[in-house]
Amino acid sequence: MALAPKTVTAERHDPRVDPPTKKDRRRLLFWAGFLGITPVSMGVVVWAAVALNGNYPTVRAPVPHGWQAVPGIYASFSVPGDWSLQQGMSDSAGDVYYSGPGGSTGESVVAAATPPSPSKLPAIVGTYLVSSFRTETVAPCPLHGANEAWRYTFKLMNGENGAGILAWVKSTQSRVWLLVVASPSVTEKVLSTLTLAS
């Protein structure tokens, strides 16, 4: 007579009840190491990203009494305290536009490895002057930090006057436009606060 094969069932290890085995200890050390190293690794990656990409030169512009600073990358300036940022005409790429009682001003900063031509006006000039215009004068002007700079005056078709400065900075490879439509005294004050990183 043949004997029926004996079935052997392996006992399952339940780590909640049974004492830990070497395999349990290895698994615990793996997960503890993984969970401990992951946040540190992420922190190093974030730190490296900020350290390598976040070093844009910034400058502080002089701020006359009652005015506010408009800080920026590569260039800063100041405007009257009651002027406010106009989001619809500003962007994160380096264009800002402020307006308020008695005037407006716009700044545009773009990358430029070579000096711009003072006779070629980009579209942003017309956008910030808000009216059709003609160029009255263009003349070189000294500006601290700029390798080349020009001063412009504009006659707007609505009868107002505008002024602007175009500056090129070789060390930051940037081209900066600052345009103002306001009274002559406010215009001069805004333009005089333009400060460039070099």
Same domain, 73 and 145: yes
Q: What is the pLDDT of residues 99-124, one digit of tens each?
A: 999 999 999 999 999 999 888 898 88
- pLDDT value at residue 4: 64
Does residue 98 lie within any of the structural domains?
A: yes
CA distances to 36, 95, 98, 128 from 109, rounded to whole Å, are 43, 6, 15, 13
Same domain, 90 and 179: yes
Does residue 137 lie within any of the structural domains?
A: yes
- pLDDT value at residue 92: 77
- pLDDT value at residue 18: 78
Closest CA to 162 of 182, 189, 176, 141: 182
Q: What is the pLDDT of residues 150-183, one digit of tens each?
A: 999 999 999 999 999 999 999 989 999 999 999 9
Domain containing 31 equals 18-55
In eight-state DSSP terms, residue 83 is -
- pLDDT value at residue 188: 96
CA distances to 24, 96, 128, 141 from 89, rounded to whole Å, are 62, 7, 8, 27
Q: What is the CATH number of the domain that holds 178?
A: 3.40.1000.10
Q: Which residue has the tokens 């260039």?
A: 75
Same domain, 96 and 124: yes
pLDDT at 54 over 60: no
Same domain, 48 and 135: no
Asked if residue 97 lies in contact with residue 106, where contact means CB atoms within 8 angstroms, the answer is: yes
- pLDDT value at residue 58: 76
Helices (H), 91-198: 123-129, 184-192
Looking at the whole model, is its pTM more than 0.85? no
The number of folded domains in the chain is 2
Mean pLDDT of the chain: 87
Instruction: Give CA–CA dist 19/12, Å, rounded.
Output: 12
Same domain, 181 and 139: yes
Q: What is the pLDDT of residues 134-144, one digit of tens each?
A: 999 999 999 99
